[in-house]
Structure 1
């Protein structure tokens, strides 16, 4: 389990420090570089087994594509200046490292999905397996007939039921394709994927850590504030003395993540996630909303 990450000089992570628990949700605006944290973690994992050049080519580059050069991973990597990346991590490692799909009940948590059962059927002619969902009092639906949101939810269910899946899972925007009424079920499922730190890891409590990122107000509102670092751009002075804007992660005020942080955020800093947008045409009356 990754408990602390320090990154300097990787993409726009010029001086980023972050604490991680079993579950972490990184919130921030579009295009601010939330995914660069995932890229840094992925780069570290490849460096454990691959040479530098090969590891860099497996990571998303500056154009969003894989297979680029090492310079893509440096801050302003194509300018003629000193280029350096510093990466440091703290981790908890278990002493020993070693379906039934179980998903029908979870799918029934989704509003509008009435599941009788799930089966995997073999097509002898095409020699392929097909996932089939049977609705209560309704038709049998192959996976290709299911919505993207339902398939994403089902994939998470399968991960949850696999005790052999351990380690760190990074997810981009788990709310994609999900109806707002189903966000609580999805976020509960994502949290359930993470190890319960109050119990010893075993087959019923796999040693898994989950880090997600989001810019969805519904997801932010459903997260425990202590699980919610805020990504923002902050002024940073480079070694050459230039002032640039770099990505940083701020913990919620008074949470355990503030122990090693010089700054934090409060509800006032995330009003756009907690209130209706300016110009909203449809809202609950204040009496009902309160």
Structure 2
């Protein structure tokens, strides 16, 4: 669970920080920079699997041949910075499995991860090429006592915090990864867990990957837990073609970032392990899963039931929906909005779906009268901070970005932050626009930050009808 993000020098994020709760809605106009927040989150996640340069090129799945990595670095119009800083504070699952299938237990579950990445041009003979350089990496932890101040969103100390925050690490230096300068060179240190000893050292200048990316064994369980947490950060960019596709019986049984594998995921949930070999219990479990998803989907469309059709000959899974009219439709005949809602219904029913889900414009394809239904569904996916973290209340988190007035008006004000452009002077005296996320007055963010906020009077664009809209006045009706 990502509780805080700090950024300096990445795209238009300068001296930027934001605190997240279980559910957060980021509102702002088109082109304001909302997507850049998701880009930072995706970049951190990509770094757990890829080299620095590969992660930079994959942020928006752009063409590596045409992507310019310099665009990741802030430019004030005349000068471009040569490094950016990222920091993420996160609550992690203490129980992890390493890449060799071995279980491990993290000694701390509330962590702070920091990175500084530089841009350099290296000359080789007559050619030159750009590269990204790791200049700083660190992973530290917060104690249970510090957590009471660092976890800013409203939560139950007795239930949520006690179950989610633990720390068995007892050292003077609260580091799992640190960075030092040795004889003018930068070295990354990996500090041992559970025993005293010299840290392992690695030169930063030649490192193609982060230490977190290379930590894949149970010998460094807390670093591995941080890696697993960031691997679970995903951006949902739902594609109609992906959501409509049938699945092979042995296909990946987890919904992908584009909404693919809906049939396989629902089939896995329905098959489950319930019943203990009893056919009647297994069928009862299957029917319960289908009924649960159908009942939730019925809040959006008039659906009677949902099921997965298995073509035994072709080993093909197809999602089928029966309307109240009696008509049965395959997934490829459903509307985009219905499929988007269905993806969220299945994610909310899947105990294996953990981590952070980011989604831009979740209201797309949804009728204005159903905004409250999709909002409630999104919030139910997220962990309930008033209850203990367990299998029935997994450590899931949802962050959405929107510019829809209707969707904003449905929000609890504590869940809202607004993108604003702030004018200030840069280091060379130029006037520049930077982005900030501002909370509403009298919300937990405004109270804990003790700084900037906005009032309802500044949200006119979200709270009033469009100017000169033909249908904004009451319609006359002559019918009796």
TM norm structure 1: 0.91
State the number of aligned residues.
281
Residue 377 of structure 2: aligned partner: 189
Asked if 2 retains the 8 angstrom alpha-carbon contact of 1:118 and 1:133, the reply is yes
Matches within 5 A, 1:81-160: 81-97=80-96, 99-100=269-270, 101=289, 102-110=292-300, 113-124=301-312, 126-160=314-348
Residue 266 of structure 1: aligned partner: 455
Q: Deviations over 1:89-140 (max 9, x none)?
A: 2112233358234310101111xx2212111112345542110001123210
Residue 38 of structure 2: aligned partner: 38
Between 145-154 and 67-76, the greater mean CA deviation after superposition: 67-76
* CA distance in 1: counterparts of 2:391 and 2:49, whole angstroms: 27
- Within the candidate set 398, 418, 432, 1:210 is matched to 398
* CA distance in 1: counterparts of 2:323 and 2:309, whole angstroms: 16
Q: Deviations over 1:22-55 (max 9, x none)?
A: 0000000011110100001111122234321111
Aligned-residue offset at 1:205: 0.9
- Within the candidate set 362, 381, 390, 1:174 is matched to 362
Asked if 2 retains the 8 angstrom alpha-carbon contact of 1:71 and 1:77, the reply is no
**2:48 pairs with 1:48:** yes
Q: Which runs of 5+ in 1 are unaligned?
A: 286-290
Residue 445 of structure 2: aligned partner: 257
Residue 74 of structure 1: aligned partner: 73
* CA distance in 1: counterparts of 2:308 and 2:94, whole angstroms: 36
Paired residue secondary structure (1:229): strand
Between 48-57 and 172-181, the greater mean CA deviation after superposition: 48-57
Q: Deviations over 1:219-238 (max 9, x none)?
A: 10111111100001111332
- Within the candidate set 434, 438, 447, 1:246 is matched to 434
Paired residue secondary structure (1:85): strand
Q: Deviations over 1:157-209 (max 9, x none)?
A: 01001111111110010000111111111110011110001111112111101
Runs of 4+ in 1 over 6 A off after TM superposition: none
Residue 288 of structure 1: aligned partner: none
Asked if 2 retains the 8 angstrom alpha-carbon contact of 1:60 and 1:66, the reply is no
Asked if 2 retains the 8 angstrom alpha-carbon contact of 1:175 and 1:219, the reply is yes
* CA distance in 1: counterparts of 2:429 and 2:95, whole angstroms: 48
* CA distance in 1: counterparts of 2:463 and 2:63, whole angstroms: 36
Aligned-residue offset at 1:254: 1.6
* CA distance in 1: counterparts of 2:312 and 2:384, whole angstroms: 42
TM norm structure 2: 0.56
Residues 188 and 197 of structure 1: CA distance in aligned 2, closer, same or farther (over 3 Å): same
CA RMSD for the aligned pairs?
Answer: 2.1
Bigger share in strand: 2
* CA distance in 2: counterparts of 1:78 and 1:45, whole angstroms: 29
Residue 275 of structure 1: aligned partner: 464
Paired residue secondary structure (1:168): strand
Q: Which runs of 5+ in 2 are unaligned?
A: 98-268, 271-288, 475-480
* CA distance in 2: counterparts of 1:46 and 1:256, whole angstroms: 31
* CA distance in 1: counterparts of 2:313 and 2:369, whole angstroms: 40
Residues 52 and 79 of structure 1: CA distance in aligned 2, closer, same or farther (over 3 Å): farther
* CA distance in 1: counterparts of 2:426 and 2:77, whole angstroms: 16
**2:216 pairs with 1:26:** no
